[in-house]
Structure 1
Amino acid sequence: MTATHAPGRTRPMRFAPDAEAHREVLETILTLRLRQLARISGLVAKVRPENAATLVPLLERLPELPAAARATLARDPYFHASFTRLVTALRASDPVAARTATDRLTSSLLLPAAGLLPGPVQLQAGQGGGLSLGVGGPRLRDHTPAVAGTVHFRGAADGGLHWFSESGASGTLSPHASQRPVLDGDDERLPPMLAELAADPKSFSTEHVRPVTAGHALTQRFEDVCDRLRAAWPSMHDEITANVSLVVPIHSLQTAAFSNTAWQGAVFLRDDFTDPLFLAERLVHESSHLRLNAVMAVTDLHTHSWDERVDSPFRNGPRPVAGLLHGAFVFTRAAEALLRISEGTGDAERGARQAKALVEKVDIALRTVRVAVRLTDEGLDFMNDIDRARLSVVSHCGHVEPADDSDYLLGEM
C-alpha cells in the first residue's frame, strides 16, 4: 500500500497495540492521498465528464476537510480501495476501470466532503435502488423502480446531503461516523470489488469469495468475542476499534480469513463464528496485518525491493521480505490474544497449545530475518520487540505440546 514518495514521521512501530499511533499513521496516509487526488483532479474529471464541474473543485479542496470528516474518511476501506483502483486504472490508461473507481470513490467522499460540494453530483444506484455512502453509513435501498437509475446529490446547509432520483423520489442524508467495526456483507459494492480482488494475480485471496448477510447469530458471536478481547486485552481492543471499520462475513471453501493492502480498515472472515478462540485469533491476526500495512506505507523497515524473496515458515516456498515481517508480527499477536482470552477458562490449555504452535513458526521466521534480511534501525528495533513478546508467550505456555496445524494455519502457509 504505497502512500507516498516522501514518508511523514510517525511513532516507531512496536509490538504492543497503540490506537493513537495508528490514528496518526492513518492521518499521514490520508493527507498524502487527498493531496494526490487534488493533483489528478483533471484526469478524474475526464473519465466522469458529467460530474466534471463538481468533481474538479471538490477534489482540489479535499485537503481542507475538517478533522472529524478526515477521521471518518481515513477509516473507510471503500475510500482506500477505490483510491488504489483509480490510480492503478489511470496509470494503465483503462478508462472503464477508472470510471468505476471514480464512482466508488465519490460515494465514499460525498458525506465527509458534503460541505465542500460546489454543485450536484450524479451516481448510479445499484439494482433495486441500492447505493451506499461510506462504510456503515446511509444506504439508499428501496426495492422499487422509484430510486433506480441516476441519483443526484447536493450538499445541504447542515452538512448533510439532499438526494433525488429522476423518478421523483428524494430525501436527506446525515453524516454518519461509526466508532466501532461494522459487521456488514450486504453493501452492493462488495460483490464486484471482491470479484476484482480475486482476479488480481497479486492478491492474497484468489478465491472468489461471496459476502453474506450478518444475521443475529453472527453479530452476537462477533460482539461476544469483541467483549472478551476488551476485557482480556483492552489496548488490543482499542487498536482494533481504531484500525478496523468493516468486517465482512464471507462464504468460502478455501479461505478462513484475509485482509488486503488496498482495503485499509477491512477484514474478511469466513462465516463460521462458532469457535470464539478461532474467531479471536483471526480477528487479531488480520487487524494486525492492517496495522503493519499502514505503518509500512510510510516507514521503511527493511531495504529490500518488493520482489526479493526469502524462505518463510508461514507459506510454502520463498515469500516477499515484507511477508516474513508480517508473519512474525501477526502470529505473535494472535498467540498472545489466545493466551489472554482463554486464561482461567476451560479453553486455557487449547489456547496455549495453539499459541505455542504459532510462536514456533515465529521463531523460525526470526532466525531467517537475522541472517537474510537487511533491516533498517526501526525494523531491527521492531523485530527485537516481537522477539521479546514471543519469549513471553513461550514462557506463559509452559510445557504444553503445540497444537497440530489448524485449517487457518495451513491456509497461512
Structure 2
Amino acid sequence: MLPPVPDRALLELGRTEGGPDTLALLVRDQDTRRLLMLRAVLDAVEGADPAVCSAGVRRRVREDWGLLEEADRAGDTAGAGTSLSPVRDRLLSPLLGPWAQRCLRGLDAAPEARTDRYVREQAREHAREQAREQAREPAHEPAHERARDLARDLAHLSALAAVAAARAGIPFAVRLTARDGVLTLPSLGALHTTDPGDTEVEARFGHGRLTLRQPGAMDTTVHLESGFGAWSSAPAWSPAYALPGLLPGSAPVPLDDLDPYRTAPVGPHDHGLSGPATLDDTERKRWLQAWSGTAAALRAGGDYRVTEATALLRCLVPLAAPPGADGHGSGSCSGTRREAFGALLSSTPPTAATFAATLVHELQHTKLSALSHMLTLHHAGPQRRYFAPWRPDPRPYDGLLQGAYSHLALADFFQRCALVVEHRAHREFAWARHARYREQVGAVLPTLVGSPELTPWGRQFVDQMVAVYERMAEYPAPRGHDARARAYVRAARALWTQRNASAIPPLKEAE
C-alpha cells in the first residue's frame, strides 16, 4: 500500500518548501476533509437526540441541504470557466471548518454516524481539547441551553445555502435568522437588523438581486458582484471586502471581519492573540497598502514563498491590535486555526515586509498541520515539558515541532533576504532576524531529533529540517549578530529554567 504522501513531497515539506504538486496534495486532502465534516454534521443531525435537535431544526437542515444540492447541480453552468462551482467554493471556505466543529460539538455526534471515522474521531477529540484549553462552554451545559445554541449554529447553514444558490443563479425564497442583530451572508456581506436580538429575515433572490425583508424596516435590496461581494445603497448593509489577488490573475483574498465563526475565544495558552476586529475605511487602506507590496517582499526570500502563499491562503481575518502595539510592527499578533485550513488571523500589518514574514511563519503551521492529518510523524504525548526559546511556557513535543518548523522557515527567509537586499539598514535587520531564528532552532533540534517517539516518516521530516539548518551555515551572519543571538537564547533558557524546570520531571531526551 502506497503512503498517502510521496517521499518527494515529504522531503520538500521537511525543507519548509513545497512545489505546486505538493501544495495541491495538501489542499485536496483538506478540501475532502472539510466536505466530509459537513456530511458529518448532516448525519449527526439525523441521529441527534430530539431534546437537543428538534424536529423543526432537523427539517430546516434538510431543506438547506436540498438547496445546496440544487446549487451544486447548477454549478457546472454558473461556474463555467472557474475551478470550483459556487456551492463548492462556499463549502470549502476556511471558516466553514470552525462552524462545523461547533455544530458537531453541540450535536455530540454518535459513533455510529454514517461518515468517515477519522472525521468523527478528530471532531470529538478537537472539541474536547478546545473545551479544556479555551473554556468555551460550561462542562455541563443545560439541555435547553445546548439546544438553543445548536439551533442558532445550525441556522447558519441556511445563510450558506442561500449564498451558494444566489451565486448559482437559482431563484429562491427562504427565511434566515439574524444573530444578535446581524445576518451574515458569507462572501456577500451582513445586514444589521432593527431588532438587536435574534430575528427572522425573509430572503428572496432573482435576476441577480437579493431582497431582504425584516419586521419594522424597509426592504434591503442587495446586488451581487461578479465573483465576490455584493453592494446595496441601504445603510443597514455592510459589504464583504476582499484584497486583490497576491499575483496578477490570482483570486482575490477575502479580508473577513464579518463571519461569526472567524475567531475562537482566547484561551490560557494563546499568548498574545487578540480578539476579532471590525475594520473601518482607514484600516482597510492600511491593509491594502501592506498587501500591495507583500508579493515582492515574499519573493526576496525565495520564489517558493510566493508559491505557497498563493496556493494555501484563502482568507485573512483581521484581529484587534494587542495591548502595547505601537502601529510600527511592535506588538502585532497573528495565528492560524487547525480547523480553518487556508485562513490566517492577523492584526493590521504595518508594512509589506512585516506581513511577508507573518505569512512565512503562519503558513508553515498550515502546511505542517495539514501534513500531520495525512501522516503520523510522532507518537509523543501532550505533556507540556520542553523548552522553546520563543515561548515562556513549557511546550508539548508537537508544539515544539511546530514552532521549530516555522522558525526554521523564518531563518531561511531572512537569510535569503539579507543576501539580496541592497539597503544597508534592511540588510542588517535581515541578518539579525536570521541569526536569532537560527539560534532558536538550533537550541531545540537535539530534542526533536533525539526523540524515540518519531515515526519513520517523522524521522525523514526532521532530518530535512536538520539539513536546512546546516545548509544555512554556508552563509553565516556577521559575527556580531551571531553573538547577540546566542546571548538571547542563553538568557531565554535561564529565565525559562527559573520559572518552569522545578515543576517538570526531567526526561532523558529532553534538554
TM-score, normalised to structure 1's length? Answer: 0.78
Which stretch of structure 1 is more off in the superposition, 34-43 or 218-227? 34-43
CA distance in 2, matches of 1:392, 1:97: 53
Instruction: Give the match's secondary structure for 1:197.
Output: coil
Q: 1:374 to 1:231 in 2, by over 3 A?
A: same
2:466 equivalent to 1:387: yes
- Counterpart contact for 1:78–1:105, Cα < 8 Å: no
Q: 1:75 to 1:34 in 2, by over 3 A?
A: closer
Query: For residue 253 of structure 2, what is the aligned residue in structure 1?
Result: 182
CA distance in 1, matches of 2:203, 2:304: 40
CA distance in 2, matches of 1:272, 1:399: 29
1:225-251 deviation digits (Å, cap 9, x = unpaired): 233214552221121122122223322
Q: 1:197 to 1:21 in 2, by over 3 A?
A: farther
CA distance in 1, matches of 2:160, 2:21: 24
- Counterpart contact for 2:360–2:410, Cα < 8 Å: yes
Query: For residue 476 of structure 2, what is the aligned residue in structure 1?
Result: 397
- Counterpart contact for 2:37–2:100, Cα < 8 Å: no
Q: 1:37 to 1:398 in 2, by over 3 A?
A: closer
- TM-superposed CA distance for 1:368, in Å, is 0.1
- Counterpart contact for 2:30–2:341, Cα < 8 Å: no
- TM-superposed CA distance for 1:286, in Å, is 1.0
2:135 equivalent to 1:82: no
Pairs within 5 Å for 1:125-144: 125=178, 131-133=184-186, 137-141=187-191
1:159-203 deviation digits (Å, cap 9, x = unpaired): x7855324543445467367456363532526xx53x421x55x6
What letter matches 2:394 in structure 1? P
CA distance in 2, matches of 1:49, 1:90: 12
- TM-superposed CA distance for 1:289, in Å, is 0.9
CA distance in 1, matches of 2:201, 2:20: 37
Query: For residue 354 of structure 1, what is the aligned residue in structure 2?
Result: 433
Pairs within 5 Å for 1:82-121: 82-91=99-108, 94-108=146-160, 110-112=162-164, 121=174
Instruction: Give the match's secondary structure for 1:124.
Output: strand
CA distance in 2, matches of 1:301, 1:365: 17
- TM-superposed CA distance for 1:108, in Å, is 4.3
- Counterpart contact for 2:431–2:478, Cα < 8 Å: no
1:263-320 deviation digits (Å, cap 9, x = unpaired): 322222232514x443322221012111211221222111234x24451324234322
Pairs within 5 Å for 1:53-72: 53-57=62-66, 68-69=84-85, 72=89
Q: 1:357 to 1:108 in 2, by over 3 A?
A: farther
Query: For residue 201 of structure 2, what is the aligned residue in structure 1?
Result: 151
- Counterpart contact for 2:44–2:104, Cα < 8 Å: no
Identity %: 19
Query: For residue 509 of structure 2, what is the aligned residue in structure 1?
Result: none
Instruction: Give the match's secondary structure for 2:154.
Output: helix
What letter matches 1:54 in structure 2? E
Paired residue for 1:9, among 4, 13, 27?
4
Gaps of 5+ in 2: 47-52, 77-82, 109-126, 128-142, 229-244, 324-330, 497-511
Query: For residue 211 of structure 1, what is the aligned residue in structure 2?
Result: 277
CA distance in 1, matches of 2:277, 2:447: 37
Instruction: Give the match's secondary structure for 1:215.
Output: helix
2:309 equivalent to 1:240: yes
Query: For residue 169 of structure 1, what is the aligned residue in structure 2?
Result: 220
- Counterpart contact for 1:183–1:219, Cα < 8 Å: no
Q: 1:218 to 1:95 in 2, by over 3 A?
A: same
CA distance in 2, matches of 1:74, 1:328: 32
Query: For residue 139 of structure 2, what is the aligned residue in structure 1?
Result: none
- Counterpart contact for 1:161–1:173, Cα < 8 Å: yes
What letter matches 1:266 in structure 2? A
Query: For residue 130 of structure 2, what is the aligned residue in structure 1?
Result: none
Query: For residue 266 of structure 1, what is the aligned residue in structure 2?
Result: 343
2:99 equivalent to 1:23: no
- TM-superposed CA distance for 1:367, in Å, is 0.5
- Aligned Cα RMSD in Å? 3.9
- TM-superposed CA distance for 1:105, in Å, is 4.9
What letter matches 1:337 in structure 2? F
Q: Which has the larger radius of gyration?
A: 2
Which stretch of structure 1 is more off in the superposition, 80-89 or 168-177? 168-177
Instruction: Give the match's secondary structure for 2:265.
Output: helix
- TM-superposed CA distance for 1:98, in Å, is 2.8
Instruction: Give the match's secondary structure for 2:293.
Output: helix
Query: For residue 453 of structure 2, what is the aligned residue in structure 1?
Result: 374
CA distance in 1, matches of 2:271, 2:71: 32
- TM-superposed CA distance for 1:144, in Å, is 7.4
CA distance in 2, matches of 1:8, 1:154: 49
CA distance in 2, matches of 1:97, 1:295: 33
What letter matches 1:123 in structure 2? L
Query: For residue 312 of structure 1, what is the aligned residue in structure 2?
Result: 387
Pairs within 5 Å for 1:334-349: 334-342=410-418, 343-346=420-423, 347-349=426-428
What letter matches 1:393 in structure 2? M
CA distance in 2, matches of 1:154, 1:215: 31
- Counterpart contact for 1:27–1:71, Cα < 8 Å: no
Q: 1:68 to 1:396 in 2, by over 3 A?
A: same
- Counterpart contact for 2:273–2:333, Cα < 8 Å: no
Instruction: Give the match's secondary structure for 1:311.
Output: coil
Q: 1:169 to 1:118 in 2, by over 3 A?
A: closer
What letter matches 1:222 in structure 2? W
CA distance in 2, matches of 1:123, 1:164: 9
Query: How many residue pairs get matched?
Result: 389
2:177 equivalent to 1:124: yes
Q: 1:231 to 1:371 in 2, by over 3 A?
A: closer
Gaps of 5+ in 1: 1-6
Q: 1:131 to 1:10 in 2, by over 3 A?
A: same
CA distance in 1, matches of 2:292, 2:99: 28
- Counterpart contact for 2:35–2:91, Cα < 8 Å: no
Which stretch of structure 1 is more off in the superposition, 279-288 or 23-32? 23-32
What letter matches 2:95 in structure 1? Y
Higher relative contact order (CA 8 A, sep 6+): 1
TM-score, normalised to structure 2's length? Answer: 0.64
Which stretch of structure 1 is more off in the superposition, 84-93 or 383-392? 84-93
- Counterpart contact for 1:338–1:351, Cα < 8 Å: yes
Pairs within 5 Å for 1:275-314: 276-305=352-381, 307-313=382-388, 314=390
- Counterpart contact for 1:338–1:355, Cα < 8 Å: yes
Q: 1:222 to 1:383 in 2, by over 3 A?
A: same
- TM-superposed CA distance for 1:355, in Å, is 1.0
- Counterpart contact for 2:211–2:222, Cα < 8 Å: yes
